[in-house]
Structure 1
Amino acid sequence: ELLGPPHLRRYLRYAGKAETELHEASSSSSLHGRLGNGLQVLAEDLFASRSFRRWLQACTGLEPRAGAKPEVRRFRPGLDYTVAARTLETEKSEVKVAELDATLVFALGDGTARAGGASSRSSDAVGDQLRAAAAERWASEEVGGFESYLAADDEEETAEAQEVYRGQENDGPL
């Protein structure tokens, strides 16, 4: 399922078990359907686990929300993104509460794993070349997920410039 609005986010979200059961014949036989089912089960079991929630709290100092439903997402290279933006509700809110957003990411490896742990000098050289090529691709930002943080600017001049692009007070970010 494709999510938007495009000025804030664009990515694929796994529809979940209920919709999958309706289309069991088609999605259970496809690789993406099986992968989605597996990731949904993993996410629900892991993020609902009391020990994992305690570990997250110990690492971050924030308590995970009770009843929060995990979301399985797919970001396609060069197509999908999310944009952090302040909305009218967050700008007017008097209470500033930190919220925990945990992400579990799976990415393809560099293909240098060897069965049985045995390697020769030639395979070591090939492995080194593959690792160097993979490191170069990651550095070029062709693959992987990347985060950018922008500090909120509260100066009046910036706020006035932003208002030029807002049609009405209740319009969200453009």
Structure 2
Amino acid sequence: MQEVEDNTTKLVDVIVLADKLITIDKAQYKIVEDHDSGFDKEKIEERYNNVLDKYDYIVGDWGYDQLRFKGFYEDERKEATLDNRISHLEDYLIEYCNFGCAYFVLEKVRKAPLKNHHKTNSHKFRTRNNSVKPKAGPVKNNKNHNSSNKKNKFSKRRSANSKKTASVKKTFKIRKIGEQNK
């Protein structure tokens, strides 16, 4: 009698090193949370995709006996959007996961370094050759300047609105301090 081969293919190697430390294809992760025993080594080996390697956190949640993954970044990363920041984890679990489902959260032990952010915004004003552009000051009204003679659609709209408000009279009664209402 021949043994039937298992049709599931193992995509990655998952090794449990210590109580809360594992490796997935030689990258170390710490199990931050294992809610309702959601961590399953064999299912991770079957379902894991290497696209998840770029994330700082990996969340695996169970729905209809299927394991699905979602990657999250540290909040400070420039590639982090609102939906894939780790601070959005609770919202993700509430909005996209089955109520009360089992899940686990893995945190990468050696994350990519965060890029230092400048305290000033001077890097936003740099040109391609890395020279700093001067900040634009107010444009002086120069009669020779072509654009100063042209009105744009916003200034036309403003002048039309100002005419409407100018025709409406606003009356205020000015009362001196100490004067009683009469």
TM-score (norm 2): 0.20
Greater RCO, 1 or 2 (C-alpha within 8 Å, sep 6+): 1
TM-score (norm 1): 0.20
Considering fraction of residues, name the structure with more strand: 2
